[in-house]
Amino acid sequence: MKLTSLLCLAACLAFTSVASADTTIHYPNEKEAVFTITSPDDWEFEPGTEDDPYCKLTKGDTVLYFQTVEGTEDGITAAIEGTYEYVKETYPKAKLPKPEETKIDGKPALAASGNGKDEDGVDTEFGFAWVFIDDKHIAELWFESSDTDKKIIAEAVKILKSFKAGK
């Protein structure tokens, strides 16, 4: 094989690895990770704050939110009620069923999904999951998307499916 062919092949392989690079986010941090999710590098990450504890991943008109809540009956009740209140305020005519029991990464969880229109009449899909990590932590994950780009939706689903409890 000619040297120029080898150099072209090496350049293509290097570009491919850069283009498909992913970032693993450890929540709340790498040392004390309660859970991780993996995201393509072209999604914008915004850490939570004291005023707004949700971490966010954004691309286009799709946002993924995540945080942990206290692993108690009161913690899960407050998380679900808070989520549903937000949906009712933002999407008054939203269709949102009661959360159903499921498993995520082998852990017991509650999940629900629905759709509605925002105040401007834009169709939006949303989904929520609460994963019971241990006696102290419940991971809360949710998304809302008004994207029509199926690639972005597929990436969001892949990110949510990358959820892993613990480090």
**Residue ranges per structural domain of the chain:** 22-165
Model confidence, pTM = 0.83
Residues 44-82 pLDDT 10s? 999 988 899 899 999 999 999 999 999 999 999 999 999
Reply yes or no on whether the pLDDT at 1 is more than 60: no
How far is the C-alpha of 145 from the C-alpha of 7, rounded, in Å? Answer: 42
pLDDT, residue 120, reads: 86
Which of 3-12, 23-32, 59-68, 112-121 bottoms out in mean pLDDT, i.e. has the lowest? Answer: 3-12
Reply yes or no on whether the pLDDT at 11 is more than 90: no
pLDDT, residue 21, reads: 80
Residues whose CB falls within 8 Å of the CB of residue 3, separated by 6 or more in sequence, listed in order? none
* Class for the domain spanning 22-165: alpha beta
pLDDT, residue 167, reads: 59
Reply yes or no on whether the pLDDT at 83 is more than 90: yes
Residues whose CB falls within 8 Å of the CB of residue 145, separated by 6 or more in sequence, listed in order? 61, 62, 63, 124, 125, 126, 152, 153, 156
Reported as a pLDDT band with limits 50, 70 and 90, residue 118 is confident
pLDDT, residue 93, reads: 81
**Which alpha helices (DSSP H) does 22-95 contain, by range?**
73-90
